[in-house]
Structure 1
Amino acid sequence: MDGFVPQQRLSLRHFSAAQLTNIVERSHFRLCLVLVLLSLACFLPGFTSLQPMDRDEPRYAQASKQMLETGDLVDIRFQDEARHKKPVGIYWMQSTAVAIGQALGVPEARTTIALYRIPSLLGALATVLLTYWASLAFLGRRGAFLAAAFMATSVILMVEARLAKTDAALTACAVAVMGGLARAYLSRGAGVLPRRTLGIFWLGFAAGILIKGPLVLMFAGLTAAVLSYRERSARWLLTLKPKIGLVATLIIVLPWFVAIAIKSGGAFYSASVGHDMLGKVGTAQTYHWAPPGFYLLSFFATFWPGAIFAAIAVPFAWIHRREEPIAFALAWIVPSWVVFELVPTKLPHYTMPLLPAVAIITVIAIFRHFVGPHRPAAKLATILIPFIPIGLTVGLSAVAWTFDGALPYRGLPFMIASSLVALYGWRLFATGKVVPSLWAGFAAAIFLSIGVFGFTQLDLRSLKLSPRLAEVARNLSCANPKVATLGYREPSLVFLTGTGLEMLETGEEASAFLKGGGCRLVFVEKRFEEAFRTENQRLGQQPTLSTRVTGFNINSGRRLDIGAYASGS
């Protein structure tokens, strides 16, 4: 027994990282566990402390909150306005998360934005795990893990995991559908697909429709059309059991679509299809206009740290485009990407459901030794690995200094660490150690997440106008004050102060609001204060200036100075 301990110590001393990797790779469960831990390290910092991000996130959260307030699980409304743009799926998920939070005793659950973000967090985790599952149709376990890790550490998924919107959940549904479609195509002629594959495919299809309408159908439909043209046959789709699957899909989605048609008198379809969807392909929604090529340029930021590796792999995809796995991945990416580039309305997250296919091609190219410092200009191009964290470190420091007069000292050490690790990753790539450079990129993403979302955003106080205004309302000496706002109309203020927040248009309306009696509070932006004071003098009232809140509104691009005036407090 005495001789056993040194032997055990010797074996532990020589236990290498490669041996640990081999042990982890023997089990899908262990690999998925590592992916979950990697994802949580990237998704959780700042999850509860980040303020509601205008404008889309608080609109979704407020509509879900009103479902709980009214008990109406069919109609979707933001205050008194019908929100007939997207189906009901995400609102049900958010309402359920908040209801569970209330049942568990979470204080002020209905105004706790983190509860509304839980479906997005779960959607982002599902996206990573489903990317692993989908990639197994193309790659072995190690390759599938790396493809999923590219998604877990991508900037765009880190952002969407923290926002109470549809996009993380939609991406999970899309990857579920495309993973099933890949198995149907790559194994055509091999017999019947497993029931689990069929279940994942059709459940993802139905859930995707309930979350964001026809987009899942577009991803799968364009891919299937391209591949069917390539094969001169669509018979391979029959392995997906379309008759049974479509019936199951209708059973899941049809009840709400019928209910909302009856309740809205058809207004939902005219608004969601006629205004929202067609407005994106026409000229109705010019607020988010961008020229073709926008997604190609933004890709280098949104898919960091994997973007530059993907760019180096582009020639590989073209050279091997006739190979079935590459052909499928390209059919997944190219048609939908072209559609998004041609549509005038553009937002960075629109292409997110296509990124798992980009990750798959990239990993295949890496494993075949196509991606490396031997490629033309690759050593220079991979400067993008440290460029993003260095750029964010400098940029966010400049923002904090400009608007708040101080550097983000809590976040700086982590952002600097991210930059240094990314620089090390660049050096690894330059010396031919491509896979280790990937791991350096993943580590840099964790440090970046902690630095930016965990700490730096806390120090950007000037950007937190709505939370600071809502705090003023909560600190009034009277309970349940009536609140109005003039000149600042962000949805986050509605979410944080209450559904009854009144949106005013003029200084005269603000003065009349305070005249209404009882405990009242009105926020007046400085541009309207002269008219507000003049009307107060005419009415003979002298409201109390509780405080002033100054800051910067990202959406309007303006510095704001807002006075909080109270009466009857």
Structure 2
Amino acid sequence: MSSFGSGLDRLVGFASASHWRACLLLVLLSLGAFLPGFSSLQPFDRDEPRFAQASKQMLETRDFVDIRFQDEARHKKPVGIYWLQSATVSAGEALGVPAARTTIWLYRLPSLIGAVATVLLTYWALLAFVGARLALLGGALMAAAVLLGVEARIAKTDAVLAACAVATMGALARTWLDWTRSLAFVPSRHNWLVFWGATALALLIKGPIVPMVWGLAALVLSIRERSLRWFAPLRPKAGLLLCLIVVLPWFIAIALKSGGEFFAESVGKDMLGKVGEGQEKHWGPPGLYLLLFFGTYWPSAAIAAMAVPFAWVRRREPQILFLIAWIVPSWLVFEAVPTKLPHYVLPLYPAITALLLLAMINGGIDRFRRGASLTAALVVLVPAALVGVILYGNWTLDRTLPWLALPVLALALFFAFLGFLAFQRGETEGALWRGVIASLLLSAGVFGLAAPSLRSLQLSPRLAEAVRSVGCAAPKVMTVGYREPSLVFLVGTDLAMGYDGAAAAAFLREPGCRVALVEQRVSQGFAEGIAGISPAPRLATTIQGFNLNGGKRLSISVYVRD
């Protein structure tokens, strides 16, 4: 494997000698990490189809101000991501993509672009801290990170938000390090435009999250300097004016259209509700993000954890102080908020990457420290556990194994093991690059081959296909006992949702071609309700599967009345 290591070293050296080559390699790595399963995975309930359905309804109604899921106002997040998704779907329609409005990968394109941008912007941000070779490694580590790979495949806000966060913090880092004379070059005169442009976009995507991250960091640094003068090159007056020009038109429009309801819902219920209590069963104790970190930031997390003593010892140095200000205040806020979702801390991972690289080049990664080998073993243990879960899920749910995925998954574990061995030899950079390769293979095996074979989890796509196969055009459809947003997205905006079998029976009594999707738990009331219908509805098919959200096996019968 020595020839492999030398070949990898030559490739990295060649790519890092030019910013254009480095960016090209990072784009290729990102696509290799994010594309497997991108178009084949079903809509992930519940958040993804809620976003996609609201964007689809914008296209259906041509109302690009209000945000709705069926008849319900969806006033939780600003409009930015819905505009981006509507734009990519419209482009797909213009290019002739069949059934573009129910093609989920079109809605995922903004997330894919946001994830690739996060990788490239990480490289750009890291150039303020390390040389091009290590900045390239840092970008590759972000492409390999499990959490970013997941967000790249989900049609919602967080990949785009991460890109905005890295852009603002890269610009802020250049301003701070130039002030402290720790930057080897003068920041571009357009640095302020990057900072405030990304802030404005972030406000339209998810409100105040990105301003919170850079605001807390700026507060810590200003306290350290006992001055705000270092912030002046970012031209806050012009920047705030830019933000107002970008965000005010829609905020005024939605305020007028909703009568202020948007702000009551998004700020009063959604944002403050997450602070007060765990929303939608997403409660978690303090420390949860630290525990999840070793899985969500794999393959880099184990070695990054070893950089903590180095960061503490060198905490007063301008570079380290900036990274600590980027990470710690926002991390503490996320840990303190009862509502916890893994993606909340994603905007902080590029800073952890920078700390890891600085520790590596300054002798701060001590493989002889007590517990270092055990921690490094997580590079192998984490993917091994994931592979075990995938195999167990396939066998338990579908009584089969993802045979095509097995060689790829085995090769991923092999490269993870090679990374562990390289760390044991003191080759930290080589260990991290082997982790990147392991991540690419794991992505192909899990997302590209294993996950799409889990047929039991594809309830909504199978039900939508059954509806399309009933033999009449544009049937009216009702579902009872199964109410996932993915079914609305795939079947149609006018999908009726009943609460019991009697409602489904009454629905079938109405004229026209009608389809009722009846879950087994409400089948008795349905049978009683259709007893007097003539001709009796016919049973087209029964679909069985597993609903992850409810954690239950379901059996759903498809009844048709022409």
TM-score (norm 2): 0.97
Which moved further from structure 2: 243-252 or 93-102?
243-252
Q: Does 1:139 align with 2:130?
A: yes
1:38 to 23, 29, 32: 29
Q: 2:79 aligns with which of 63, 68, 88?
A: 88
Distance 1:325 1:275 in 2: 38
Which whole-Å CA distance do the structure 1 matches of 2:70 and 2:8 have between them?
Answer: 56
Cα distance in 2 for partners of 1:412, 1:475 equals 34
Q: How does 1:393-408 map to 2 (within 5 A)?
A: 393-408=387-402
Q: Is the 8 A contact 1:143 1:364 kept in 2?
A: no
Matched residue, 1:487: 481
| Equivalent residue number for residue 441 of structure 1 | 435
**d(CA) in 2 for partners of 1:149, 1:543:** 57
Describe the SS at the equivalent of 2:365. Answer: coil
Deviation at 1:359, TM superposition (A): 0.4
1:537-569 C-alpha deviation (Å, 9 max, x unpaired): 14455111100010100000001010000100x
Partner residue, 2:492: 498
* Map 1:272-291 → 2, pairs under 5 A: 272-283=266-277, 285=279, 287-291=281-285
- Tell me how far 1:37 sits from its aligned partner: 0.7
Q: Is 1:198 aligned to 2:189, yes or no?
A: no
Moved more, 262-271 or 197-206: 197-206
1:432 to 421, 426, 431: 426
Identity, % of aligned positions: 56
Number of aligned residues? 554
Q: Tell me what 1:4 maps to.
A: none
Residue 55 of structure 1 deviates from its aligned partner by 0.3
1:149 equivalenced with 2:143 (yes/no): no
- Paired position in structure 1 for 2:3: none
Equivalent residue number for residue 411 of structure 1: 405
1:506/1:528 contact within 8 Å kept: yes
Larger deviation, residues 481-490 vs 534-543 = 534-543
Aligned to 1:21, which of 12, 16, 24?
12
Measure, in 1, the Cα distance between the counterparts of 2:159 and 2:435.
22
- 1: distance between equivalents of 2:11 and 2:125? 25
For 2:121, which of 130, 138, 143 is the aligned residue? 130
Question: What is the CA-CA distance between 1:110 and the residue it aligns to?
Answer: 0.3
Deviation of residue 194 (structure 1)? Answer: 2.0
1:255-295 Cα deviation digits (max 9, x unpaired):
00000000000000000000000000012625100100100
Q: Is structure 2 residue 167 aligned with structure 1 residue 168?
A: no
How far does residue 458 in structure 1 lie from its aligned partner after superposition?
Answer: 1.6
Q: Residue by residue, what CA displacement relative to the aligned partner does 1:402-424 show, whole Å, maximum 9, x if unpaired?
A: 01001111211111111111111
8 Å CA contact retained: 1:193, 1:240:
no
User: Aligned partner of 1:199: which letter?
Assistant: L
5 Å-filtered alignment, 1:360-371, equals: 360-371=354-365
Q: Between 124-133 and 192-201, report the one with greater CA deviation.
A: 192-201
Separation of aligned partners in 2, 1:132 and 1:564: 51
Q: Residues 239 and 377 of structure 1: is their aligned pair in 2 closer, same or farther, counting only changes over 3 Å?
A: same
Where does 1:64-79 land on structure 2 (aligned, <5 Å)?
A: 64-79=55-70
Match of 2:214 among 215, 220, 235: 220
Of residues 323, 334, 356 in structure 1, which corresponds to 2:328? 334
* Amino acid corresponding to residue 138 of structure 2 in structure 1: A
Contact kept, 8 Å, 2:460 with 2:486, in 1: the verdict is: yes
Instruction: Verify the 8 A CA contact 2:12 2:133 in the aligned structure 1.
Output: no
Measure, in 1, the Cα distance between the counterparts of 2:501 and 2:258.
Answer: 35
| CA displacement, residues 11-67 of structure 1 (integer Å, 9 cap, x when unaligned) | xxxx96544433322211101111111111100001000000000000000000000
Which residue is equivalent to 2:315?
A: 321
Output the CA distance in 2 between the equivalents of 1:334 and 1:397: 37
C-alpha separation between the residues in 2 aligned to 1:324 and 1:421?
A: 36
Matched residue type, 1:560: L
Rounded to whole Å, the distance in 1 between the matches of 2:280 and 2:492 is 30
Is the 1:281–1:345 contact (alpha carbons within 8 Å) kept by the matching residues of 2? yes
Secondary structure, in 3 states, of the residue corresponding to 2:190? helix
Distance 1:507 1:21, change over 3 A: closer
Q: Give the Å deviation of 1:354.
A: 0.5
SS in 2 for 1:406: coil
Partner secondary structure for residue 54 of structure 1: coil
Aligned residue for 1:545, secondary structure, equals strand
- Give the SS at the match of 2:530: helix
Q: Report the Cα distance in structure 2 between the residues aligned to 1:391 and 1:293, rounded to whole angstroms.
A: 21
1:473-552 pair list within 5 angstroms: 473-540=467-534, 542-552=536-546
Relative distance call for 1:272 and 1:124 in structure 2 (3 A) is: same
2:244 maps to 1:253? no
The aligned residue for residue 6 of structure 1 is: none
Report the residue type matching 2:168 in the other structure.
Answer: V
- 3-state SS in 1 of match to 2:472: coil
Give the superposed CA RMSD: 1.3
Distance in structure 2 (CA, Å) of the matches to 1:98 and 1:104: 10
Cα distance, 1:220–1:449 mapped onto 2, change above 3 Å: same
Query: Letter of the aligned partner of 1:340 in structure 2?
Result: F
Matched-pair contact (CA < 8 Å) for 2:412–2:442? yes
Is contact 1:48-1:114 (8 Å) kept? Answer: yes
Alpha-carbon shift at residue 217 of structure 1 (Å): 1.0
Give the partner amino acid of 2:135. A
Is the 8 Å Cα contact of residues 372 and 429 (structure 1) preserved in structure 2?
no
What's 2:106 paired with? 115
Distance 1:213 1:468 in 2: 36
CA contact (8 A) 1:192 1:239 kept: no
Q: 1:219, 1:499 → 2: CA distance? A: 37
Asked if the contact 2:480/2:519 (under 8 Å) is kept, the reply is yes
Q: Which of these residues, 545, 554, 559, is aligned with residue 565 of structure 1?
A: 559
Partner Cα distance (1:20, 1:440) in 2: 13
Question: 2:263 pairs with 244, 265, 269, which one?
Answer: 269
Q: Which residue of 1 aligns with 2:232?
A: 238
Q: Distance in 2 between matches of 1:146 and 1:383?
A: 21
TM-score, normalised via structure 1 length: 0.96
CA contact (8 A) 1:171 1:353 kept: yes
The one-character-per-residue Cα deviations of 1:330-359 (angstroms, maximum 9, x if unpaired) are: 000000000000100000000000000000
Q: State the one-letter code of the partner of 1:234.
A: L
How far apart, CA to CA, are the structure 2 residues paired with 1:256 and 1:172? Answer: 22
